Structure 1
Amino acid sequence: MKYVDEFRNPEQAKALSQEIRALASRIGRTRERPLQIMEVCGGHTHSIFRYGITQFLPEEIEFVHGPGCPVCVLPMGRVDDCVALAELPNVIFTTFGDAMRVPGSKKSLLKAKAGGADVRMVYSPLDALQIARQNPYREVVFFGLGFETTMPSTAMTVLQAKAEGIPNFSLFCNHITIIPTLRAILDAPDLNLDGFLGPGHVSMVIGTRPYEFIASDFSKPIVISGFEPLDVLQSVWMVLKQIAEGRAEVENQYGRIVPRDGNPLAQKAVHEVFEVREFFEWRGLGSIDYSGVRLRDAYAAYDAERKFKLPNLRVADPKSCQCGDVLKGLIKPAQCRVFGTQCSPETPLGALMVSTEGACAAYYRYGRIDTSGLAKRPQSNVTEIAA
């Protein structure tokens, strides 16, 4: 297939749906104990609800929404650090748009901007570097966040800043890595997941090899999936086919984009600029060892955490907000006490309602057509991800 509309063909979707139903019947699960497939990436969550993919699946299959939304897993204390940086005199704080509305313990970056802080939305870290060139007497901080998907562009921007000798640019690094997170999920004692839809964009950078431990160590199938409706349906079919045949392998449905070894140039830039942190805190998941990166000593001059003094405090989420339970797969967004009432895209209490990849935002925007009864549906999944 060459064109987008070919990946949205309703007849092919119906054919895949029939194959999936046949496999599900062969495996033999029930609504009370469904086949649970985690879509790791928030982009898949939005595809599932935007295109009504759940309507093509039997009730014996349940999607569990994973932690693959970098804005969603950002702990509140790190948002407070962003606000503290933005409110420093002579600082221009730059960020992607979806991070501006994530609430901290007192305010978001958007509210800090309304209060007079110079917070600017950018579309890439190179935009932030250009602002630094244009404002040589002001400090420009870029809020770097995201999984391996966005790490290369940030790394290359730091390399460019060093090559040009731009001293007033720095990075507040909150980049995180997917593999330690998946291992933490799989190490959870009460795991009931049957398989994974692997993240397509992350895999474009890291390839498929890093996921092999999921099959070899935990005997779980994983299929790297694209984001169009037929991509997701085919990937579900591939996961079920492995289960039905008693296999556990890493398969690549998104082969038109994802090579087995990833992107070596992107990996080289990331390795040059970043090193692994001993631990990093995730919203709702706690501290996960070796799950984040920071700037190497050779690039300390561009590290906002070394250049500026930050509060660096751990802050608990509001008790009414159940983002952590959603991220762990304990509940669906519609089961949250404040979903759609006190917490909405206009007045978010948690990051999952803010981000374009957040599960709560997907449910709120697309899920109302087919999420009735979710609040009554029994859930059985991960109780603890990490200590």
Structure 2
Amino acid sequence: MKYVDEFRDNYKCEALLWQIGKLSHMIGRPLKIMEVCGGHTHSIFKYGIEEILPNTIELIHGPGCPVCVMPKGRLDDVISIAENSNVILTTFGDAMRVPGSKNSLLQARAKGADIRMVYSPLDCLQIAKDNPDKEVVFFCIGFETTAPSTALTILQAAAEHIPNFSMFCNHVLVIPALKALLNNPDLQLDGFIGPGHVSMVIGTQPYEFIPQKYHKPVVVSGFEPVDILQSIWMLLWQFLEKRCEVENQYNRLVTETGNHQALEAINRVFEVRETFEWRGLGEIPHSGLKIRSEYDQFDAEQKFTIPYFTVADHKACQCGEILKGVLKPWECKVFGTACTPENPIGACMVSSEGACAAYYKYGRLSQIRNADRSIPEKLIK
């Protein structure tokens, strides 16, 4: 099967792991590499990649899970919209269980709010047509990956003159988040595994500031085991050769300049907010999108009275430090005890892309804590 089986091939993985072990021995110092995307975190634990790497390579799990970075206040805001009797709220399934300050969308639905899961924002247009006496609101979240589909949905709603449809926009941008991380003195990183899905939209060019200003190499990666191991191998070569560049491992889908049609749709419908709050990272300037005034009729923030709650995270939850890569999930005091996927205290435990959820499902913590992860001598000769 082209582009799937080839990237899960055991022989290729073993060859790459052998090379990684050899290169890490030649470099001779510990390395901290952040995978920005939550999809990479999920793959790393699903395939046990972190466990087989040399103990000199530490993977840091970044804030690339859009559900995880959603602040409690915005969840409370969208629940307040859903509680209107004339509203049908729609959203993706992974947003349903994210905890706000009092409850989640799933709990609000159990109390009587009309909240529906959809697979595409375009599904909401049909719901609006079928329910002309209701206001249909789509709770849109995500990085640049999902922004084109919501932009095109608004353009379609405008073309079809659907007056009872709007969006509560919470799209965020990856580049400002990376800048905030790099400016954090607590975080010491050597390089980045760049996000694959976001890069399909924006390309590799926007990451050039990382090697130029912060002197950290970046390799944009796919999501299969061979992709991730090859990306780590490419980063190690940069460390060894004292290079600092943006490289593209995921070149079967990612280009230097991105998807021009997708970017055009985003720029036509959205503009950048002055600031936006991220869970665990706080306010980050120019890091969120809002709907342009030309499309105010489809902006839920213009249609409804939004309370704009500001809510602190649970005191026992350390999602913020985990999202910044300062702590590992199992270092949080409530991980796996009070906080589980069935009863999540923090957002990192909700989404399948969240670091805590990945650790809980795939982490095999006793093995990670106790195993000798050093590379056998025969691999470095």
1:298 to 289, 294, 297: 294
Tell me what 1:5 maps to.
Answer: 5
- 1:22 corresponds in structure 2 to 22
Cα offset, 1:306, TM superposition: 1.0
Task: Give the Cα separation in 2 of the matches to 1:2 and 1:256.
Answer: 12
Q: Identify unmatched segments of 5+ residues in structure 2.
A: 371-381
List aligned pairs for 1:94-133, cutoff 5 A: 94-133=90-129
Equivalent residue for 1:156? Answer: 152
Matches within 5 A, 1:131-170: 131-170=127-166
The CA deviation at 1:2 is 2.5
- Contact 2:187–2:324 (8 Å) recurs in 1: no
- The letter of the residue matching 2:172 is I
Instruction: Indicate whether 1:362 and 2:325 are aligned.
Output: no
Shift of 1:187: 1.4
Give the aligned residue type for 1:18: W
Change (3 A) 1:370 1:13: farther
In the alignment, does 2:235 pair up with 1:239? yes
Contact kept in structure 2, 1:92 and 1:139, CA below 8 Å: yes
The structure 2 residue matched to 1:51, chosen from 47, 61, 77, is 47
Code of the aligned partner of 1:273: V
1:216 maps to 212
User: For the structure 1 residues 340 and 36, does the alpha-carbon distance in structure 2 shift closer, same or farther, using more than 3 Å as the test?
Assistant: same
Closer/same/farther in 2, CA of residues 371 and 333 from structure 1, 3 Å limit = farther
Q: What are the equivalent positions in structure 2 for 1:163-312 lying under 5 Å apart? A: 163-312=159-308
The offset of 1:56, in angstroms, is 2.6
User: What is the root-mean-square deviation in Å for CA atoms of aligned residues?
Assistant: 1.1
Contact between 1:177 and 1:292, CA under 8 Å: does it hold in 2?
yes
Give the Å deviation of 1:233.
Answer: 0.1
Q: Which residue number corresponds to residue 378 of structure 2?
A: none
Deviation at 1:3, TM superposition (A): 3.9
The secondary structure found in structure 1 opposite 2:208 is helix
SS of alignment partner, residue 373 of structure 1: helix
Question: How many pairs are equivalent?
Answer: 370
Q: Deviations over 1:286-335 (max 9, x none)?
A: 00000001000101111101110011011001101110110111110011
Tell me: CA distance 1:367–1:59, structure 2 relative to 1, closer, same or farther (3 Å).
same
Q: C-alpha separation between the residues in 2 aligned to 1:129 and 1:354?
A: 27
Q: Using the alignment, how far apart are the partners of 1:303 and 1:255 within structure 2?
A: 36
The Cα shift of 1:36 comes to 0.4
- 1:55, CA displacement in angstroms? 2.7
CA offsets 1:63-98 (integer angstroms, 9 cap, x no match): 000000000000000000111011011100000001
CA distance in 1, matches of 2:323, 2:204: 24
Assess, with a 3 A threshold, how the Cα gap between structure 1 residues 9 and 369 changes in structure 2: closer, same or farther.
Answer: farther
The correspondence for 2:335, drawn from 333, 339, 351, is 339
Shift in Å at residue 363 of structure 1?
0.3
Separation in structure 1 between the aligned mates of residue 136 and residue 276 of structure 2, nearest angstrom: 24
- Contact 2:32–2:58, Cα closer than 8 Å, also in 1: yes
Distance 1:225 1:101 in 2: 29
Cα shift at 1:6: 1.6
Structure 2 residue identity aligned to 1:166: I
Which letter maps to 1:4? Answer: V
TM-score (norm 1): 0.94
- How far off is 1:372 after superposition? 4.0
Deviation above 6 Å: which 4+ runs of structure 1? Answer: none
Q: Which residue of 2 aligns with 1:382?
A: none
- Which one is further off, 362-371 or 287-296? 362-371
Greater mean deviation of Cα atoms: 183-192 or 239-248: 183-192
Whole-angstrom CA distance in 2 between matches of 1:321 and 1:181:
21
Cα deviation for residue 369 of structure 1 reads: 5.4
Report if the CA contact (8 A) 1:16-1:237 is conserved.
Answer: yes
User: Secondary structure at 1:171's aligned position in 2?
Assistant: strand
CA contact (8 A) 1:14 1:56 kept: no
Q: Determine if contact 2:187/2:325 at 8 Å carries over to the other structure.
A: no
CA contact (8 A) 2:8 2:226 kept: yes
| 1:90/1:139 contact within 8 Å kept | yes
Deviation of 1:373 after TM superposition, in Å, equals: 2.4
SS in 1 for 2:364: helix
Amino acid at match of 1:345: P
The residue number in structure 2 matching 1:379 is none
Q: CA deviation at 1:371?
A: 5.2
Measure, in 2, the Cα distance between the counterparts of 1:189 and 1:84. 37
Other-structure match for 2:373:
none
Counterpart of 1:280, as a letter, is F
2: distance between equivalents of 1:125 and 1:108?
20
Conserved? CA contact 1:105–1:315, under 8 Å: yes
Using the TM superposition, give the Cα deviation of residue 14 of structure 1 relative to its aligned residue in structure 2, in angstroms. 1.1
